[in-house]
């Protein structure tokens, strides 16, 4: 399935990253006024892929950008 403009695919490396993703998502929602979001788990990938869907395309892009930036700094903290 090809992601739509308001959808972000997140591939997680393991349980630690899944936990970091959960905390990041909670913080992102809080910082952005708790927008409507759907997170799909994909069991065919053993829970390592999440599809995050926002109603707003701009917010989806912001989420994707911040997640990528956060992942890049996770190993340096």
pTM equals 0.77
Backbone angles phi, psi at 35, to 5 degrees: -70, 160
3-state secondary structure of 49: strand
* 1 within a domain of the structure (yes/no): no
* 2 within a domain of the structure (yes/no): no
pLDDT in tens, 12-57: 888 888 899 999 999 999 999 999 999 988 766 665 889 999 999 9
Q: Look at residue 76 in the predicted model and tell me its pLDDT.
A: 39
* 49 within a domain of the structure (yes/no): yes
Number of domains in the chain: 1
Q: Look at residue 42 in the predicted model and tell me its pLDDT.
A: 74
Residues 6+ apart with CB under 8 A from 55: 6, 35, 36
Class of residue 53 by CB neighbours under 10 A (exposed 0-12, middle 13-18, buried 19+): middle
Bridge partners of 11, per DSSP, are 49
pLDDT in tens, 3-21: 566 889 888 888 888 899 9
Residue numbers of the domain that contains 54: 7-74
């Amino acid at each position: 399935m090809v992601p739509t403009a308001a959808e972000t695919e997140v591939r997680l490396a393991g349980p630690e990253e899944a936990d970091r993703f959960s905390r990041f998502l909670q913080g992102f929602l809080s910082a952005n006024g708790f927008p409507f979001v759907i997170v799909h788990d994909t069991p065919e990938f053993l829970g390592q892929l999440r599809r995050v869907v926002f109603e707003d395309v701009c917010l989806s892009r912001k989420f994707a950008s911040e997640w990528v930036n956060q992942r890049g700094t996770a190993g340096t903290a």
